[in-house]
Amino acid sequence: MTASNNIILNNTEIEQKIRRIAYQIYESNHKEKEVIIAGIAENGYIFAEKLAVAVSKISDVQVKLCKVTIDKKNPLKEVHTSLSSQEYKNKSLILVDDVLNSGTTLIYGIKHFLEVPLKRFKTAVLVNRNHKKYPVKADFKGISLSTSIKEHVVVEFNKNETIAYLM
């Protein structure tokens, strides 16, 4: 588990970040009937589920979840999604991950979705770190954090509590 002095976001703070990002998603999609929230497996998808619930609570925009599976060790392998490309074609889509570190996972996820025409495309992360090796940014972010290259951000989604900490 974590040492309490390494916590960067506690459960309450994460819930606040989720609510704020949900409002930002709604603000940029208030004219849409439906929005696709695509979460990168594993933690990105859990974060996407929480965002979907929050957006549904504050708006009448229909939210459709999509699970995105990327081989993080070999991101050039084919990306798989739980929705067919026809289900998100010409829709507004938000690609979600828990932590934006180097940008590798997010950029390969973006590449996959660029093969289908979208109405609007945005990205959302809980923690945005400043160690990108790709020109990718988070449109919606919970917190931006400057860390050393040796430090690692971990987000734990447990049944009753979510916590983000530095290792």
Domains: count for the chain: 1
Q: Which of 1-15, 65-79, 88-102 shows the lowest per-residue confidence on average (mean pLDDT)?
A: 1-15
Say if residues 51 and 28 touch (Cβ distance below 8 Å). Answer: no
Q: Which tokens hold the place of 45?
A: 């998808």
Give me the count of residues in the chain.
167
Q: Which tokens hold the place of 1?
A: 């588990």
Model pTM score: 0.93
Apex 136 CA angle, 156 and 164, nearest 5: 15
Full domain range(s) for residue 151: 4-166
Per-residue pLDDT tens for 105-135?
999 999 999 999 999 999 999 999 877 778 8
Q: Which residues contact 86 (CB under 8 A, 6 or more apart)?
A: none
Q: Which is higher by pLDDT, 102 or 24?
A: 24
Return the CATH number at 142: 3.40.50.2020
